[in-house]
Amino acid sequence: MATKIKTVFFCQSCGYESSKWMGQCPGCREWNSFVEETVKPAPKTTRGTTTSASGASGGSAPKTLSEIVMNDEERYDTHIGELNRVLGDGLVKGSLILVGGDPGIGKSTILLQVAGNISGDGKEVLYISGEESLRQIKLRANRIGDFSEHLKFMCETNLSDIEEAITRAKPEVVIIDSIQTMFNESVSSAPGSVSQVRESTSVLLRIAKSMNISIFIVGHVTKEGQVAGPRVLEHMVDTVLYFEGDRHASYRILRAVKNRFGSTNEIGVFEMQEKGLAEVANPSEFMLDGRPENASGSIVTCSVEGTRPILIEVQALVCRSNFGFPRRQANGTDYNRVNLLMAVLEKRIGLNMGEFDAYVNLAGGMRIAEPSLDLGICLALISSFKNIPIGSDVIAFGEVGLSGEVRSVNMGEARVSEAKKLGFKTCIVPKALEDKLKKSCKGIEIIGVSSVADAMRLI
Ligand code: TYD
Ligand code: MG
């Protein structure tokens, strides 16, 4: 029987499938996002091979934990410490990793460096580009350094040719740059469309699991900051990494938003240099570089990203509003949270914020939404409002509640020792942590505060 071609409507932003066109997507409430695509039903020969993560062919019998064999060599070392950390101690064999980020942020660069490092260990690596010509890749590679014979390049966008090449070359690691340029002949819609991206990913998933090859997939990001194509793509892969950071600043942050093999809070910090991306081993130092001395509205606070504390400078500028409606702006942190903290300052401390414009900025362009920054943001606002500089050897952290109370946060000791390492003398911490930290952290002054008003009296 000839396979009947049917058309389906897909939501471009979440992948919702519908048999008829709709103005608003019931899945993600996006307007005008449905596009028509033709899909050919898949032949019903193999049971669940397209999405099976087990990679095993044939039926699978239940096993006890002791029957499951683990081999030691399950992870590759990428020789990039920050990337290993984000991946959860190295690249897992047979995993599928999606790397997302704005154009020009460095996705191709870091993957070329990873390919170079892993192939340098004698492992076969295949770099498949659908975006650049071999000459362009060579130009980039020349900037980065020397590469071994084990690294091969290919310009191809047809997935069946790619599958054939992979089967022939049997590499251990494959890089696909990018998923939006790949196409699968069995799907009739254009490359980059929802069904094409989804089908291509499922083919790559099958290759990764059945041949035990680690595959990195580059994905472009839409204006809203999601990987272009459906969200389902994120559900299919094992790990989703996002590259973020200001294109104009030199540093880049790699964040794991999903990881089946490690923690998702970890971040890696890189700096874009002449010869590719270099790791930043001590991000706190990097973030505090160029901090103003004795300026009002500036204080250092500490955020914990994953397992690592990072010191960061919070800046606030409060100035009289020229219009009836004061302006508020938050860069790098949650706008609504800043509004809430300003309401707390107004009501609980009596600062007349209503007549003032306020701008809050995390220096260095980091994006952090951790509540432990609250106390730092409040103190920066107060310092700017009163025009009193806070000592440059003071850090403050703690969550602020709606009654103006300062609440405890996790990993207090790690935060204090990071501050001590960078030469800070005084830590303003939540009262609940004071005794514990005084006992465990020597050589740095610990001051516990139970409310924002308490903290204000210190500056
Ligand atoms: P690229 O990896 O091509 O970005 P993506 O694949 O995410 O689109 O990065 C390109 C940018 O990085 C480009 O603006 C040039 C810059 N760059 C350097 O500054 N130094 C280097 O050594 C390399 C290779 C690129
Ligand atoms: Mg690229």
Which pLDDT tens digit goes with each residue over 170-229? Answer: 999 999 998 989 988 888 888 888 888 888 999 999 999 999 999 999 988 766 656 666
- CB of 219 closer than 6 angstroms to any ligand 1 atom: no
> Mutation test of ligand 1: which of 98, 102, 109 has the most ligand atoms closer than 8 Å to its C-beta?
109
Is the CB of residue 105 below 6 angstroms from any atom belonging to ligand 1? Answer: yes
pLDDT beyond 70 at 434:
yes
51, pLDDT greater than 50: no
CA atoms of 54 and 77, how far apart (whole Å): 23
Give the per-residue pLDDT at 43.
Answer: 57
Q: Is any atom of ligand 1 closer than 6 Å to the C-beta of 104?
A: yes
Q: Which CATH class is domain 286-456?
A: alpha beta
Tell me what the pLDDT averaged over the chain comes to.
Answer: 87
Provide the residue type at 15 as one letter. Answer: G
- How far is the centre of ligand 2, averaged over its atoms, from the C-alpha of 282 (Å)? 27
Identical fold for domains 73-281 and 286-456, yes or no, is no
Torsion 352-353-355-356 (CA) sign: positive
The Å distance, Cα 111 to ligand 2 centre, comes to 9
- Strand 356-362 relative to strand 328-331: parallel, antiparallel, unpaired? parallel
Q: Is 101 in the pocket of ligand 1 (CB under 6 A)?
A: yes
State phi, psi for 191 to the nearest 5 degrees: -55, 145
β pairing state of 445-449 and 267-273: unpaired
Substitution site in 254, 272, 273, 277 for ligand 1 pocket (most atoms within 8 Å of beta carbon): 272
- Residue scoring higher pLDDT (241 or 307): 241
Ligand 1 and 398: CB distance under 6 A: no
Residue that wins the pLDDT comparison between 204 and 35: 204
Higher-scoring residue by pLDDT: 393, 191: 393
- 148 CA to centre of ligand 1 in angstroms: 21
Predicted confidence at residue 169, as pLDDT, reads 92
pTM of the model: 0.79
Position in ligand 1 atom list of the atom nearest CA 111: 2
pLDDT value at 418 more than 80: yes
275 lines ligand 1 (CB under 6 A): yes
Find the mean pLDDT for residues 397-407: 96
For domain 73-281, give its CATH number from 3.10.330.20, 3.20.20.70, 3.30.43.10, 3.40.50.300: 3.40.50.300
Pairing state between β 276-279 and 267-273: antiparallel
121: left (phi over 0), alpha (psi -120 to 50) or beta: alpha
d(CA 136, CA 401): 54
pLDDT (0 to 100) of residue 228: 62
As a whole-number percent, the residues of the chain with pLDDT over 90 amount to 55
User: Ligand 2 centroid to 139 CA: how many Å?
Assistant: 13
Average pLDDT over every residue of 144-152: 92
Segment among 49-53, 177-181, 351-355, 421-425 with least mean pLDDT:
49-53
Whole-angstrom distance, CA of residue 205 vs CA of residue 159: 12
439: Cβ below 6 Å to ligand 1?
A: no
Ranges 42-46, 105-109, 187-191: which has the least confidence = 42-46
Q: How confident is the model at residue 16 (pLDDT cuts 50, 70, 90)?
A: confident
Q: What is the mean pLDDT of residues 291-298?
A: 89
Ligand 1 atom 10 nearest Cα:
104
Residue with the larger pLDDT of the pair 4 and 368:
368
Which pLDDT score is estimated for 48?
44
| Calpha distance 361→381 (Å, rounded) | 11
106 lines ligand 1 (CB under 6 A): yes
> Residue 50 — very low, low, confident or very high, per pLDDT cuts 50/70/90?
very low
Q: Which two tokens stand for residue 239?
A: 């790990």
pLDDT at 142: 93
Separation of alpha carbons 257 and 324, rounded Å: 41
Give the pLDDT confidence score for residue 363 in this predicted structure.
84
CB distance 145 to ligand 1 below 6 Å? no
Answer whether residue 2 shows pLDDT above 60.
Answer: no
140 lines ligand 1 (CB under 6 A): yes
Report, as an integer, the average pLDDT of 234-249. 84
- Give the distance (Å) from ligand 1 centre to CA of residue 109: 6
Q: Is the CB of 87 under 6 A from ligand 1?
A: no
Nearest-10 Cα torsion for 286, 290, 291, 292? 180
**Stretch 226-250: mean pLDDT:** 78
Which atom of ligand 1 sits closest to the CA of residue 247? 14
State the average pLDDT over residues 348-372: 89
pLDDT score recorded for residue 49: 45
pLDDT on residue 154: 94
Q: How far apart are the first and last CA of the chain?
A: 81
The mean pLDDT value for 118-135 works out to 94
pLDDT (0 to 100) of residue 71: 66
- pLDDT greater than 90 at residue 444: yes
Q: Ligand 2 centre from 450 Cα, in Å?
A: 50
- Band of the pLDDT at 34, cuts 50, 70, 90? confident
Position 54 pLDDT exceeds 70: no
The predicted structure's pLDDT at residue 229:
61
pLDDT at 459 over 80: yes
- Kindly state the average pLDDT of the residues 383-405: 95
* Ligand 2 ion: Cβ-proximal residues, 5 Å cutoff: 108
| Domain spans, the chain | 6-39, 73-281, 286-456
For residue 134, what pLDDT is reported?
Answer: 94
According to the model, what pLDDT value does residue 193 have? 80
Ligand 1 lined by 272 (C-beta under 6 Å): yes
Ligand 1 atom with the shortest distance to the CA of 112: 2
Ligand 1: nearest atom to the Cα of 276: 22
For residue 382, give the nearest of 455, 333, 451 by alpha carbon: 455
> Which ligand is in closest contact with the Cα of 221?
1
